[in-house]
Amino acid sequence: MEQNHNKMRLLITSDVHSSFRRFERILDNESNVDYVVITGDLTDFVASHIQRIDKILNSKKLKALVVHGNCDPPESIDYIEKSSSMVNLHAKSVEIDDYAFHGLGGSNYTPFFTPSEYSDDEMRSFINNFEYGEKNVLISHCPPLGILDLTYSGIHAGCAVVREIMHNFDVIFCGHIHESPGIYVKDKSNIVLNPGSASSGRYALFDLNSFDCKLKKI
């Protein structure tokens, strides 16, 4: 990937769920970013809606680092791969400047039988593809179990496998649990960020140089 030295201001979004107008408003509100991050659930079960997201990003001349979510059908990965504005990071690693970005799409099993759910063993097989650097960022649809994953019913619905590996990453960007936006800081080099659902106008700004973070809503 083309490098962008000394500029690592990220717009973090998740759970767009085909809310195209809301997503476009978020991008319009934050023009001075270097990359958009989308941590999954771009669509509401319609893979071809990825093309609409691609069109919006291209109209703003923005590039996005993306994983699919549990509500994105498996063929969504092909649409992301074919897009001109998005980099599919699922089960992959990409180096940008001083950071290695890694992606883990889909989710652990849910009660809802959504299209892209995986067993723990499948999750671990995806992670085995990662190529770590000195500084590492995980873009995961699921939060780590017990962190920014509390549902309205009081259940922690995060992913145990992400919790197992979180010590390998300086920063984890996640989503999935719309009602648990926030920032978890274990120490200055171990941060988890769930921006909340873009379909509700929530997003975050994150500076990888300073680790400055702002949760925002339009």
Cα–Cα distance measured from residue 106 to residue 201, given in angstroms and rounded to the nearest whole number: 22
Tally of structural domains, the chain: 1
pLDDT digits (tens, 9 = 90+) for 100-158: 999 999 999 999 999 999 999 999 999 999 999 999 999 999 999 999 999 999 999 99
Q: Is residue 2 part of a domain?
A: no
Q: Which domain holds residue 41?
A: 9-217
Q: Is residue 3 part of a domain?
A: no
Task: Report the pLDDT averaged over residues 20-28.
Answer: 98
pLDDT digits (tens, 9 = 90+) for 142-194: 999 999 999 999 999 999 999 999 999 999 999 999 999 999 998 767 899 99
Q: Is residue 185 part of a domain?
A: yes
pTM of the entire predicted model: 0.96
Q: What's the CATH number where 164 sits?
A: 3.60.21.10
Burial class (CB in 10 A: 0-12, 13-18, 19+), 24: middle
Q: Is residue 4 part of a domain?
A: no
- Of 19, 11, 56, 14, the C-alpha closest to 39 is 14
Q: Is residue 1 part of a domain?
A: no
